[in-house]
């Protein structure tokens, strides 16, 4: 099923040359499995705005934006300028900088629930620090997370991220499935897996461990589950449960902070106690952040006589990431958020039109400046609904290869687009025209998936 077009369309000799060196020194030839493709990854020479040029001079239109982390596209001049200025003054010190304070002021003024903030280096670290802070504050150790949700690679947060029909078990009590071989059983035992957006089952599962759960982790628009939003009723029900049971509501907004000016949390009638962020708030540089109520964040406070959660990090709040982040988020103001969301909504409508014209069983889900295409007639409402079996996955891989190699378009490997302000209506038209061509060609196989 895997496409052979990579060999037919582009020999990719220069890429393969580097890859042959890479496999000698990097496991699998890559540092990050996400960018691996068969027969070899493609190597970047440079990027600007919404275009990436590879080392063979091929220019591609980018709708992946480094897995949702570049909200203004590549090499935005204002970010390049401010980072270059900061670089000349130094990149990391065993001292504080004003850059972190100014950036913290900006983010805390943006979201009402962010009374205090701490910067770290990645989304994984942000989620991990959030879970540890919840434990330190509540004195309890278990967490609850949604089946299928991706929260990075902290042991507890990654459980059941890859559950599949052979192991996920009864929906009334989904199994806690390890991602990494030999994950200790006691970690699995400390994670309650709940079905996203399913109030009744989730509350029942939480109740069974009420005296041990420190926090309920929610990504409000979880990409891997299917990129559809948590309902207000669901978030409210979980919030109310946490109030009754001395637990915290912990939002993973690593991806979804982009949805509104104040994050996806602005869409709900209740607010999380803690929020993990990363990706766009680093302006293209490594960053993570944990924000929340002062009283809870106090567990990290070095002035406390009993420090409940000692927290540091060699590159935490380095002035390169915080400067890039501040400039980026200043430019991503209310108007910019609203314009980008409107452009993305328009793209989604155009693609739904393309799906109709191509007459294939497909639909879209999404929120704000992101959407995902599913190859099923009706939009999924659960992880199990959206789950792609091997055959579907192989067809999607083939479509992604066609887009990358024939149409010079980059999308995320789940058929997801994460928009950036550098995109325009013209680039959206190019995406929908390309999709129309490729989906028409693939109609027989796409039809067979649905039958
Ligand atoms: C929702 C979510 N949480 C956490 C992470 C982990 O972030 P990072 O890759 O910066 O560690 C990701 C990464 O894709 C994510 O999508």
Region of residue 67 (phi > 0: left; psi between -120 and 50: alpha; otherwise: beta): left
Q: How far is the CA of 441 from the centre of ligand 1 (A)?
A: 34
Q: How far is the CA of 152 from the centre of ligand 1 (A)?
A: 5
**CA 344, CA 286: separation in Å to the nearest integer?**
25
| Digit-coded pLDDT (tens) for 356-366 | 999 999 999 99
157 lines ligand 1 (CB under 6 A): no
Asked whether the beta carbons of 73 and 65 are under 8 A apart, the reply is yes
Which atom of ligand 1 lies nearest, measured to the CA of 122?
10
Asked whether the beta carbons of 232 and 267 are under 8 A apart, the reply is yes
Kindly tell me the burial class for residue 307, based on how many C-beta atoms sit within 10 Å of its own C-beta (0-12, 13-18, 19 or more). middle
Please report which residue ranges of 139-182 form alpha helices under DSSP H. none
67 lines ligand 1 (CB under 6 A): yes
**CA 109, CA 321: separation in Å to the nearest integer?**
19
pLDDT band of residue 11 (cuts 50, 70, 90) is: low
Q: How far is the CA of 111 from the centre of ligand 1 (A)?
A: 20
- Those residues whose C-beta lies under 8 Å from the C-beta of residue 376, and which sit 6 or more positions away, are 361, 362, 363, 385, 386, 449, 450
The closest residue, in CA terms, to atom 15 on ligand 1 is: 151
Q: Does 451 have pLDDT greater than 80?
A: no
Q: How far is the CA of 358 from the centre of ligand 1 (A)?
A: 34
Say what the pLDDT of residue 223 is.
Answer: 97
**CA 101, CA 109: separation in Å to the nearest integer?**
12
Three-state DSSP at 67 gives helix
Q: How far is the CA of 428 from the centre of ligand 1 (A)?
A: 26
Which atom of ligand 1 lies nearest, measured to the CA of 288?
10
Say what the pLDDT of residue 2 is.
Answer: 45
pLDDT (average), residues 388-392: 94
**Alpha carbon separation from 427 to 47, 50, 114, 328, 347 (Å, rounded):** 16, 9, 35, 22, 10
Q: Does 377 have pLDDT greater than 90?
A: yes
Q: Does 7 have pLDDT greater than 70?
A: no
pLDDT (average), residues 220-227: 98
| Digit-coded pLDDT (tens) for 284-337 | 999 999 999 999 999 999 999 999 999 999 999 999 999 999 999 999 999 999
151 lines ligand 1 (CB under 6 A): yes
152 lines ligand 1 (CB under 6 A): yes
Residue 283 has φ and ψ, to the nearest 5°, of 55, 30
pTM of the predicted model as reported, rounded to 2 decimal places:
0.96
DSSP secondary structure, 318-332, as one string? -HHHHHHHHHHHHHS
122 lines ligand 1 (CB under 6 A): yes
Kindly tell me the burial class for residue 29, based on how many C-beta atoms sit within 10 Å of its own C-beta (0-12, 13-18, 19 or more). middle
220 lines ligand 1 (CB under 6 A): no
276 forms bridges with which residues in the sheet?
A: 252, 290
| Digit-coded pLDDT (tens) for 131-178 | 999 999 999 999 999 999 999 999 999 999 999 999 999 999 999 999
**Alpha carbon separation from 252 to 124, 131, 195, 243 (Å, rounded):** 10, 10, 16, 19
127 lines ligand 1 (CB under 6 A): yes
| Digit-coded pLDDT (tens) for 14-39 | 999 999 999 999 999 999 999 999 99
Residue 351 has φ and ψ, to the nearest 5°, of -70, -35
The closest residue, in CA terms, to atom 2 on ligand 1 is: 151
pLDDT (average), residues 426-435: 98
Q: What is the average pLDDT value for the chain, to the nearest integer?
A: 96
Asked whether the beta carbons of 404 and 62 are under 8 A apart, the reply is no
Asked whether the beta carbons of 258 and 72 are under 8 A apart, the reply is no
254 lines ligand 1 (CB under 6 A): yes
Q: How far is the CA of 156 from the centre of ligand 1 (A)?
A: 14
**CA 121, CA 15: separation in Å to the nearest integer?**
30
Say what the pLDDT of residue 20 is.
Answer: 96
158 lines ligand 1 (CB under 6 A): no
The closest residue, in CA terms, to atom 7 on ligand 1 is: 123
Probe target for ligand 1 pocket from 255, 289, 325, 372, with the most ligand atoms within 8 Å of CB:
255
Q: Does 4 have pLDDT greater than 80?
A: no
Probe target for ligand 1 pocket from 33, 34, 150, with the most ligand atoms within 8 Å of CB:
150
Q: Does 8 have pLDDT greater than 50?
A: no
Give the rounded percent of residues in the chain with a pLDDT score beyond 90.
Answer: 96
| Digit-coded pLDDT (tens) for 267-278 | 999 999 999 999
Residue for token pair 């089946």: 147
Three-state DSSP at 45 gives strand
pLDDT band of residue 13 (cuts 50, 70, 90) is: confident
The CA radius of gyration of the chain, in Å to the nearest whole number, is 22
Q: How far is the CA of 150 from the centre of ligand 1 (A)?
A: 7
Q: How far is the CA of 276 from the centre of ligand 1 (A)?
A: 10
């Amino acid at each position: 099923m895997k496409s052979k077009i990579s060999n037919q369309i582009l020999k990719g000799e220069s890429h393969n040359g580097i890859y042959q060196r890479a496999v000698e020194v990097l496991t699998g030839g890559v540092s990050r499995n996400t960018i691996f493709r068969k027969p070899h990854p493609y190597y970047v020479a440079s990027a600007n705005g919404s275009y990436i040029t590879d080392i063979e001079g091929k220019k591609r239109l980018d709708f992946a934006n480094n897995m949702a982390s570049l909200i203004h596209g590549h090499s935005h001049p204002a970010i390049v300028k401010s980072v270059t200025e900061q670089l000349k003054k130094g990149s990391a010190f065993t001292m504080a900088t004003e850059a972190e304070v100014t950036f913290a002021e900006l983010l805390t003024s943006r979201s009402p629930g962010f009374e205090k903030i701490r910067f770290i280096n990645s989304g994984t670290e942000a989620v991990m620090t959030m879970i540890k802070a919840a434990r330190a504050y509540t004195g309890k150790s278990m967490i609850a997370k949604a089946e299928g949700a991706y929260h990075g690679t902290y042991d507890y947060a990654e459980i059941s991220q890859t559950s599949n029909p052979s192991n996920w078990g009864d929906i009334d009590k989904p199994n806690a499935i390890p991602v990494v071989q030999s994950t200790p059983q006691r970690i699995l035992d400390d994670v309650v897996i709940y079905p996203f957006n399913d109030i009744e089952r989730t509350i029942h599962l939480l109740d069974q461990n009420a005296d041990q759960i420190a926090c309920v982790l929610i990504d409000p628009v979880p990409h891997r589950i299917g990129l559809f939003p948590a309902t207000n009723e669901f978030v409210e029900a979980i919030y109310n449960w946490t109030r009754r049971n001395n637990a915290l509501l912990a939002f993973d907004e690593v991806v979804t902070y982009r949805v509104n000016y104040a994050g996806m949390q602005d869409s709900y009638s209740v607010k999380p106690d803690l929020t993990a962020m990363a990706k766009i708030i680093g302006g293209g540089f490594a960053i993570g952040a944990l924000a929340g109520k002062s009283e809870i964040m106090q567990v990290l406070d070095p002035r406390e006589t009993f420090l409940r959660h000692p927290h540091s990090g060699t590159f935490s709040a380095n002035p390169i990431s915080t400067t890039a982040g501040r400039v980026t988020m200043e430019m991503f103001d209310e108007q910019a958020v609203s314009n980008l969301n409107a452009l993305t909504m328009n793209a989604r409508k155009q693609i739904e039109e393309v799906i109709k014209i191509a007459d294939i069983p497909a639909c879209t889900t999404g929120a704000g400046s992101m959407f995902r295409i599913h190859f099923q007639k009706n939009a999924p409402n659960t992880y199990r609904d959206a789950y792609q079996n091997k055959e579907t996955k192989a067809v999607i891989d083939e479509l992604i290869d066609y887009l990358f190699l024939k149409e010079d378009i980059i999308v995320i490997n789940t058929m997801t687009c994460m928009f950036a302000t550098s995109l325009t209506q013209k680039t959206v038209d190019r995406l929908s025209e390309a999709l129309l061509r490729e989906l028409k060609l693939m109609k027989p196989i796409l039809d067979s998936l649905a039958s």
